């Protein structure tokens, strides 16, 4: 049964895998393909504000399998399917096999998990290592063995080298053990200290570099408050949207009232499941709530100092979310009730996933089509401009130097570069202009130089591309 669930998980994660790369993916891929390990670790990672493990693994993968859209996303698919398996193991350890199978089924069909398992970023890998870390942590609580300690130390160390918000699992482990110290063996509590020291020793080389990375990230946030707002500033809305996205994935609605009304039925169902799950609660099983809510609360508080709060960075707590669902669905040994609750849960998951698969609006930025449009309509005297001081990484990925491109600003948002009027055609990308050029300075400058906006095209996620002719 678990093999069938894993097969379904794999199939769902392969559907639409050939989407265009979006901004962050293209930045990752371009650098992983073009930089040495040394530059990836000591230069690129400083500006990316993530630990280096995923970048190094992606670079190695590209060296063997190339940098096509499908190729660079396959590692995320593999570890995401493995996360479904560890969701089964954790639920089985906390409850029984039936709950494990239900939890794995829900995780296999989870719309948010599907979306980020199709992305060449570190979030699926971090969620995998986090689930392995949790599995061995719970194993230690049940039976203290050398294998469990080795698994816990190894998985936790790899998790910490992958992403930063999973670091918040460490204080959750400590708080859980402290609160339940009377129910945990003295040997386990004593052994935890050297285990954490070992993890610290393994992660220390990167922690010595982290202050420089943090300084770079904070400087970038200070220089662009609008960008800091986008990448993770805290608000009650961002806190609420976390659970919305956990439930229905990336689909959304521009009208907030309609969005709330559409989400109301799933929200009531989820609230019912969480209440129902309380009847199966025990001190051991309560770890699910520590795992789910602890990192969310800590990340929200942390974001007041460092802008890191975003629901997708919390993907590593999603297994806890669905295990709680599963525990409610299997609360009584009455198969009809389990089937009814599971069908409703699957209806929510599969409906949301289907909307994502079928509607390009909810998929990734379509840079492939946007760049193809430029190629089809360009001449030797064509220039592509971006309303920033650099070109966009996805355009670079697909353009491959075929059409000349440049950032419109010269080192600062106030200074626009001088453009030769010998170009017969200029394409201006609106992408992120609300952050980089909110006053529309580049558009006005092109108009002043005598260029006329003759055509405007809109591409999903990329936004408007303005065609100017002399």
The one-digit pLDDT tens for each residue of the chain (470 residues) are 999 999 999 999 999 999 999 999 999 999 999 999 999 998 888 778 899 999 999 999 999 999 999 999 999 999 999 999 999 999 999 999 999 999 999 999 999 999 999 999 999 999 999 999 999 999 999 888 999 999 999 999 999 999 999 999 999 999 999 999 989 989 899 999 999 999 999 999 999 988 888 887 777 666 565 555 566 678 888 899 999 999 999 988 877 788 888 889 999 999 999 999 999 999 999 999 999 999 999 999 999 988 889 999 999 999 999 999 999 999 877 788 889 999 999 999 999 999 999 999 999 999 999 999 999 999 999 999 999 888 999 999 999 999 999 999 876 656 788 877 789 999 999 998 888 888 889 999 999 989 999 999 999 999 999 999 98
Contacts of 220 (CB under 8 A, 6+ apart): 47, 227
Question: Based on the domain organization, do 341 and 400 belong to the same domain?
Answer: no
Residue 377 CA to residue 399 CA, distance in Å, equals 13
Question: Based on the domain organization, do 316 and 434 belong to the same domain?
Answer: no
Question: Based on the domain organization, do 337 and 418 belong to the same domain?
Answer: no
Question: Based on the domain organization, do 337 and 411 belong to the same domain?
Answer: no
Question: Based on the domain organization, do 417 and 324 belong to the same domain?
Answer: no
pTM: 0.93
Question: Based on the domain organization, do 35 and 48 belong to the same domain?
Answer: yes
Taking CA atoms, 225 is separated from 233, 304, 310, 320, in Å, by 9, 13, 16, 33
Range of the domain at 332: 2-362
Is the separation of the CB atoms in 344 and 364 below 8 Å?
no
Read off φ and ψ for residue 164, nearest 5 degrees. Answer: -90, -40
Question: Based on the domain organization, do 230 and 336 belong to the same domain?
Answer: yes
Q: How many domains does the chain contain in total?
A: 2
Residue 97 CA to residue 143 CA, distance in Å, equals 19
Question: Based on the domain organization, do 324 and 433 belong to the same domain?
Answer: no
Taking CA atoms, 417 is separated from 227, 384, 387, 390, 403, in Å, by 22, 13, 11, 11, 18
Residue finishing a domain among 362, 382, 405: 362
């Amino acid at each position: 049964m678990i093999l069938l669930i894993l097969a379904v998980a794999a199939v769902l994660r392969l559907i639409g895998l050939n989407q265009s790369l979006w901004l962050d993916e293209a930045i990752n891929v371009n650098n992983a393909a073009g930089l040495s390990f040394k530059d990836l670790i000591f230069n690129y990672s400083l500006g990316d504000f993530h630990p280096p493990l995923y970048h190094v693994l992606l670079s190695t993968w590209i060296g063997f399998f190339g940098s096509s859209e499908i190729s660079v996303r396959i590692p995320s698919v593999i570890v995401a399917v493995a996360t479904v398996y560890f969701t089964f193991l954790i639920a089985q350890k906390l409850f029984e096999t039936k709950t494990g199978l239900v939890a794995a089924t829900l995780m296999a069909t989870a719309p948010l998990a599907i979306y980020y398992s199709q992305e060449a970023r570190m979030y699926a890998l971090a969620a995998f290592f986090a689930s392995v870390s949790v599995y061995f942590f719970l194993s230690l609580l049940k039976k203290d063995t050398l294998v469990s300690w080795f698994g816990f130390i190894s998985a936790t160390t790899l998790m910490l080298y992958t992403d930063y918000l999973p670091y918040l699992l460490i204080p959750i482990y400590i708080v859980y053990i402290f609160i339940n110290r009377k129910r945990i063996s003295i040997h386990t509590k004593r052994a935890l200290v050297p285990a954490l020291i070992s993890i610290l020793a393994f992660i220390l080389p990167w922690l010595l570099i982290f202050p420089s990375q943090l300084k770079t990230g904070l400087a970038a946030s200070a220089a662009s408050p609008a960008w800091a707002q986008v990448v993770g500033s805290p608000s009650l809305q961002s806190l609420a949207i976390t659970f919305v996205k956990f439930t229905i994935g990336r689909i959304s609605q521009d009208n907030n009232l309609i969005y709330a009304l559409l989400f109301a039925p799933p929200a009531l169902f989820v609230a019912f499941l969480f209440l129902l799950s309380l009847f199966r609660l025990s001190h051991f099983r309560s770890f699910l709530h520590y795992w789910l809510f602890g990192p969310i609360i800590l990340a929200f508080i942390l974001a007041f100092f460092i802008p890191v709060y975003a629901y997708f960075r919390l993907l590593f707590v999603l297994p806890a979310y669905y295990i709680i669902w599963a525990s409610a669905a299997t609360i009584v040994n009455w198969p009809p009730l389990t089937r009814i609750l599971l069908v409703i849960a699957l209806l929510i998951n599969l409906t949301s996933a289907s909307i994502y698969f079928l509607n390009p609006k909810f998929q990734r930025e379509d840079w492939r089509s946007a760049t193809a449009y430029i190629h089809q309509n360009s001449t030797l005297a064509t220039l592509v401009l971006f309303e920033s001081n650099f070109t966009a990484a996805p355009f670079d990925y697909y353009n491959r130097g075929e059409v000349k491109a440049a950032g419109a600003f010269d080192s600062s948002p106030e200074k626009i570069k001088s453009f030769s009027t010998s170009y017969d055609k200029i394409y201006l990308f609106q992408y992120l202009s609300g952050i980089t050029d909110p006053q529309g300075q580049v558009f006005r400058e092109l108009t002043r130089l005598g260029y006329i906006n003759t055509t405007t095209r809109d591409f999903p996620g990329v936004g408007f591309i303005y065609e100017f002719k002399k």
